[in-house]
Amino acid sequence: MTDSNFNASDNSSNNPLLSTYDLAPFSEIKPEYIEPAIKQTLEWAKSEIENLLKNNTQFTWENLMQPIEALGNVLDKRWSPVSHINSVTNSDEIRNAYDACLPLLSEYSTWLGQNKVLFEAVQQLYNDRDKLNLDSTQEKILADELRDFRLAGVALPDDKKARYGEIQRRLSELSSKYEQNVLDATMSWEKHFVDASELSGLPESVLGLIEQNAKNAGKSGYLLNLEFPCYYGVISYADNRDLRQEVYRAYSTRASELSDSAKYDNLPIMNEILALRLELAQILGFSNYAELSIASKMAEAPKQILDFLSDLADKSKPQAQQELGDLKEFAKTQLNINDLQAWDVAYTSEKLKQHKYAVSQEELRPYFPVKQVQKGLFNITEQLFGVQVKEITDQVNKWHQDVQLFELQDSNGEQIARFYVDLFARSRKRGGAWMADYCSRFILPDGGQQKPVAFLTCNFNPPVGNKPALLTHDEVVTLFHEFGHGLHHMLTKVNYLSASGIHGVEWDAVELPSQFMENFCYEKEGLQVISGHYETGEPLPDDLRDKLQAAKNFQSAMMMVRQLEFSIFDLHIHSNDNPAKPVDIQTVLDTVRSNVAVITPPQWNRFQNSFSHIFAGGYSAGYYSYKWAEVLSADAFSKFEEDGIFSRESGEAFKQHILEKGGSQPAMELFKNFRGREPSIEPLLRHSGIAA
């Protein structure tokens, strides 16, 4: 390669994305810089690869894979900041620039995946692996690359290659539009109250939030919106049943033909996505898209997954029905609700939980100020894995004032990785919580060591008035979950980009570290360090902790069948093999619900229209991964239950066998190396309070 950092001569000095940087200059990235930078980077990368292939006949890791990974690294460091700001500071200008790059990236990806000369070079390198003394990680990377070439259509005739490229480009555009519609539909609804007379039941934290919303909008009183903290507060606590129904309807019909802004209806997009995914799968020789999706995962076939999910449903549904029966009885006798509806479930459940266990999320919130939770999370991480976490406060270039930057260090104070934290909900920020990789561990062309950097994003209640940000316990669990993904990315010891951190990890194993970390939020030792009343600093009292632990599995079977409903629905809509008979999405969902669910939403519910995981994320025909990986995570945590929750020895073993290995070995091998056996479903059922 001529220059691993690539400085184009035309206007590069004015474009920060084309400069050489360690951490991205977020405050300097203007929309007009985005498309030129990505376009030039892709053209340069394509030219470099063509030169590599032209100038070599005998390929080695050093003259083929190493430079190709270096090119990919430069592209990652230019595109990931753009993708991130599109998610967290969305505007029309950023969105247009982002969308303009999607077809360019899709075309480059297709060109790369269908490059027969490159495929043959990788095949030659793989065939010569013994002669070249390649290590096991290099061999796995090459085997995965060869599989991915085939899944990209490298062996297809030219007309089908062209069609494959068209489909991928269009799917990229559709997924982006789907996510934009969800964001726009969420932002388009609000409801203003001059006084609090209709808002009885809302806790102080929610009232403070919606009062702050009104002030930010230049209004008096209170302003409801569909950002999750506000939606959740109303649906869980508002005594006004009509208000709960109104907010539930607005939220559950977002981006549909029934929403106030029907122009954001996602149904045509969903139908086109499913049709194109089926066509793509059949071009590649698969019967349906589920088969294509699973070709690169741990699971072996759609039937194996459906059997797994059905088994869980069989074990969970009787208990879920009992839990719903208890809820209906409580609603009737205690709340005078004789016809429990979907908009009553969260409200009634919160009341029942309070009745049975004398504990509520709002009662716990004062004990979980953000700073104390972060401090406790970092303390647990340090105890388990022998690392240190330090905040970086000097001259941090960030996209919003709330953003923090931290450094992960080894026991000697040497930097291992860094991570950005962006915790609070705000306008023009995509909902939900996620970890994304900014850059990965990698040996650079000049021999230097690139350290991983992660983005950790949530949507919690921001600080209100003079109070610090206070989290519900559910939000604490979310933070631990995303940090588990971050640890997987940051603690890797793999130096090859294609297997570093979360790269190369089968998608249905990627939730193992995240779900594993959630467990510490319920343990006595964990709660001691993550809690501290925002006024007194006192940790969660024993009586509240006992109630929280007792309530841990409250309605766990109802939650289990809800996740199974999503997973089975996802597999079924991607298992259609007849292009002449397109899937009726609503009918499939209704059928799955009739078999699995215990709560049937109203006919006008359009949950699927904002199910971004499968229509705009990486979980298409893969949502089952949450339950699949939860079997692994529960079993992994059971070792800590046996050896001690903060067992340094077990923590070191988990780090060594799971976190440090990234995608360097198959996930099942790594799990067996850690646990000494195949995974068992029993710990998951036990942790969920469901009898095996």
**435 in the Ramachandran plot: left (φ > 0), alpha (ψ -120 to 50) or beta?**
beta
Q: Are the CB atoms for 452 and 490 separated by under 8 Å?
A: yes
| Kind of pairing between the strands at 190-193 and 449-450 | unpaired
Contacts of 268 (CB under 8 A, 6+ apart): none
Alpha-carbon gap, residue 301 to 222, rounded angstroms: 51
Written in H, E and C, the secondary structure of 468-512 is CCECCHHHHHHHHHHHHHHHHHHCCCCCCHHHCCCCCCCHHHCCH
Active site residue 482: yes
Q: Which two tokens stand for residue 209?
A: 């939030």
| Kind of pairing between the strands at 415-424 and 453-460 | parallel
Q: Which two tokens stand for residue 215?
A: 């002030």
How crowded is residue 556: how many other Cβ atoms within 10 Å of its Cβ? 17
Measured at the CA of 20, the angle between CA 14 and CA 26, to 5 degrees, comes to 70
Q: Are the CB atoms for 61 and 443 separated by under 8 Å?
A: no
Which of 620, 409, 645 lies closest to 524, judged by CA? 645
Q: Are the CB atoms for 38 and 83 separated by under 8 Å?
A: no
Q: Are the CB atoms for 385 and 651 separated by under 8 Å?
A: yes
Catalytic residue among 482, 518, 523, 630: 482
- How far is C-alpha 162 from the geometric centre of its chain's CA atoms? 31
Q: Are the CB atoms for 91 and 428 separated by under 8 Å?
A: yes
> How many CA within 13 A on the CB side of residue 303?
0
Alpha-carbon gap, residue 3 to 14, rounded angstroms: 19
Residue 190 three-state SS: strand
Contacts of 542 (CB under 8 A, 6+ apart): none
Bridge partners of 417, per DSSP, are 408
Alpha-carbon gap, residue 248 to 32, rounded angstroms: 39
> What angle, 0 to 180 degrees and rounded to 10, lies between the N-to-C axes of helices 342-357 and 302-335?
70
Maximum C-alpha span of the chain: 80
Q: Are the CB atoms for 223 and 210 separated by under 8 Å?
A: yes
- How far is C-alpha 383 from the geometric centre of its chain's CA atoms? 26
The secondary structure of 598-617 as a DSSP string is: SS---TT--GGGG-HHHHTS
Distances 178 to 46, 270, 272, 459, 652 between C-alpha atoms, Å? 30, 8, 11, 20, 42
Q: Which two tokens stand for residue 678?
A: 């195949």
Which of 504, 405, 490, 422 lies closest to 459, judged by CA? 422
Q: Which two tokens stand for residue 626?
A: 């949450």
Active site members: 482
